[in-house]
């Protein structure tokens, strides 16, 4: 996958919005270039599972990013339900622990790619300390990544800053999806603290990158996506 430079299959657009019109506008504009759309807790809370059907009916794939984190029985049943919608990828918080992750793997039966979230890209060392975790970000990410692999999780969601370290530890096999992407054109980071450019993410070993606001808040989402793909293809 990493040798395959078909960027349009490896860029995922995050549809974090409460307006169906806006979501449809973004899909209409970007559908010629994009194969996978991410539905997170905002759009899923507003529109429910029918938003997944609507995207799949357009022959696109869905990454369902609900970051499950609960007792094993609850997560297991939620995963069973989520994979029945035919989603391509699904997220869980690795902080939910080994038993929870194992329960998710068993419920999935290999249908979707189960991705573990280590630390959110909005987290920095100060925030980690404030929740009582006295580890540096890298140490914490490594510990959670190994736990996820041990439990049989297919891959990880990780910041571009930890990517090289993760590839060194885990090798090529796990799927790694990188959010917190900001093109090198001055797009605002917003609440994201550990951002990287699309090129840096792919160069460091990302299989997929997730881009939200730089595309969805753009006046010309199609142009923005095309520009990103062009820049990547030129190797800039």
Binding site residues, ligand C5P, CB under 6 A: 14, 16, 38, 40, 65, 117, 120-121, 157, 179-180, 190, 192, 210-213
Rounded (5°) CA angle 215-204-198: 15
Cβ closer to ligand C5P: 97 or 190?
A: 190
Q: Is 67 a catalytic residue?
A: yes
Cβ closer to ligand C5P: 83 or 215?
A: 215
Considering the complex, what minimum distance in angstroms separates the CB of residue 236 from ligand C5P?
20
Reported as half-sphere exposure (CB side, CA atoms, 13 A), residue 227 has a value of 13
Considering the complex, what minimum distance in angstroms separates the CB of residue 2 from ligand C5P?
20
Considering the complex, what minimum distance in angstroms separates the CB of residue 65 from ligand C5P?
6
Considering the complex, what minimum distance in angstroms separates the CB of residue 67 from ligand C5P?
7
Give the C-alpha separation, 137 to 125, whole Å.
6
Taking each helix axis from N to C end, the angle separating 72-84 and 98-108, rounded to the nearest 10 degrees, works out to 30
Do the bridges between strand 208-211 and strand 11-14 make them parallel or antiparallel, or are there none, so unpaired? parallel
Cβ closer to ligand C5P: 64 or 79?
A: 64
DSSP per-residue letters across 92-130: EEGGG-HHHHHHHHHHHTTSSEEEEE-S-TT--HHHHHH
Which of 9, 20, 60, 67 is flagged as catalytic?
A: 67
Cβ closer to ligand C5P: 169 or 189?
A: 189
For the CA atoms of 161, 164, 168, 172, the dihedral, rounded to the nearest 10 degrees, stands at: 120
Point out the residues that are catalytic.
Answer: 67
């Amino acid at each position: 996958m990493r040798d395959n430079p078909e960027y349009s299959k490896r860029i995922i657009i995050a549809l974090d919005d409460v307006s169906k019109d806006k979501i449809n506008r973004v899909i209409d504009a970007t559908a010629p270039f994009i194969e996978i759309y991410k539905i997170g807790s905002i759009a899923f809370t507003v529109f429910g599972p029918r938003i997944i059907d609507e995207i799949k009916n357009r022959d696109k794939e869905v990454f369902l990013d609900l970051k499950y984190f609960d007792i094993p029985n609850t997560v297991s049943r939620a995963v069973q339900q989520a994979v029945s919608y035919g989603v391509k990828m699904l997220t869980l918080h690795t902080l939910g622990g080994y038993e929870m992750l194992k329960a998710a793997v068993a419920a999935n039966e290999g249908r979707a790619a189960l991705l573990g979230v280590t630390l959110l890209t909005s987290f920095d060392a100060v925030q980690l300390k404030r929740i009582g975790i006295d580890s540096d970000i890298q140490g914490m990410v490594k510990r959670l990544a190994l736990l996820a692999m041990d439990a049989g999780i297919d891959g990880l969601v990780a910041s571009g800053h930890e990517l090289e370290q993760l590839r060194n530890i885990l090798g090529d096999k796990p799927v790694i999806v990188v959010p917190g992407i900001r093109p090198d054109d001055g797009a605002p980071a917003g609440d994201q603290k550990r951002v990287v450019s699309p090129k840096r993410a792919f160069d460091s070993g990302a299989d997929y990158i997730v881009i939200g606001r730089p595309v969805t808040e753009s006046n010309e989402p199609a142009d923005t996506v095309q520009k990103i793909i062009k820049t990547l293809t030129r190797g800039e």
